[in-house]
Amino acid sequence: MHRTSRRLLGGLLALGVTVGATACGDDGAGPTGTASAEGGWSFTDDLGTTVELDEAPTRIAGLNDLAASLWNYGIEPVATFGQTSAEDDVAFEGRDLSDVAIVGSAYGEIDLEALAAADPDLIVTTIYPADSSGEIPADTAGYGFNDMAQQQQVAEIAPIVTIAYRGSAADVIERVVDLAWALGVDTEGGEVAAARADFEAASETLTEAAGSGVSLLPVFATEADGWWMAKAADDPQLALYQDLGVTFVDPGGEDYFWNAVGWEEVPDHPSDVLLYSLRFSMTPEEIAGQPTAALLPAVQAGQLHPWKYIG
């Protein structure tokens, strides 16, 4: 496999995450969100919950992942929470956070008083299925909440809209576009139309590069917890790339989304390219410094590329 092909494919995957966050689907009609001339507003989320307000919300707070996606459409959040502080989150790279209240910097730790002080009209979050079926059991807390009790406390501050992270990223993007449209964004013209064109062009380039047959393995690596390998079919971003022709290594295992192994088993999962998570994972240099990881073809070829893992 030619090294240039591996480098091109890895680089395009990194680009695809960035472009994908700002692209949108073909349907900008916003079928589940409305804002009437009288000022009434409603949106039906992916749990089937319809949020109805007297007027369109303008002060949006929520989970880092979704708040960052909406910001790509010009909707700046008033407050964010997530696995880490927005200041340390790659999804907010280049953003001015001076007017954003960071009310949570660890999973499930949300400063309710600070969130209430930000005075949001609407709170947005995501949710993952329980398994590869894509089903979301009833009474499942949204991502970022410890449990339903905490979610209810947050819902007393402002209503919550939940977007499901399942299937292909193309589907997730379309749902984010529906929400952005409902919030007043022109999703058919201007910067959004330009981003859609960039996304489509990048998709074609990625499909062409993927024809080389280069194999990729997305990983989250830590010295203490070992080698976590993502299953492409269970991650919307990776599933989109797979639909575009990218070949991912099947990491095996029975668990949903990840197969985690100890460092001694790392050589059993070779690939041409490694995608390393930009969230909490070891750096390429740290990975290459591990004796077993150093045996991998991707590490020996220097083919480690960033993966802006969302979630």
pLDDT in tens, 127-175: 999 999 999 999 999 999 999 999 999 999 999 999 999 999 999 999 9
DSSP state of 51: E
Tokens of 243: 């639909």
Q: Which residues contact 219 (CB under 8 A, 6 or more apart)?
A: 227, 228, 229, 230, 274, 275, 276, 277, 281, 287
Residue with tokens 């529906």: 178
Strands (E), 238-303: 247-248, 258-261, 273-277
Q: What is the pTM of this model?
A: 0.84
Give residue 281's pLDDT.
85
Residue 37 has pLDDT above 60, yes or no: no
Q: How sure is the predictor about 189, in pLDDT bands with cuts at 50, 70 and 90?
A: confident
Of 120, 112, 124, nearest to 49 by C-alpha is 124
CA distances from 13 to 5, 28, 170, 210, 306 (A): 12, 25, 15, 10, 9
- Of the candidates 149, 169, 159, 69, the one whose C-alpha atom is nearest the C-alpha of residue 120 is 159
Q: Is the pLDDT of residue 18 over 60?
A: no
**Band (10; pLDDT cuts 50, 70, 90):** very low
What is the reported pLDDT for 105?
Answer: 96
Q: What is the pLDDT of residue 90?
A: 86
pLDDT for the residue 39: 67
Token pair in block for residue 118? 């930000």
Residue 37: Cβ within 10 Å count: 5
Q: How far, in Å, CA of 12 to CA of 210, rounded?
A: 10
Give tens-digit pLDDT for 220-272: 999 988 999 999 999 999 999 999 999 999 999 999 999 999 999 999 999 99
| Residue where the block lists tokens 């894509």 | 134
Q: Who contacts 152 (Cβ-Cβ below 8 Å, separation ≥6)?
A: none
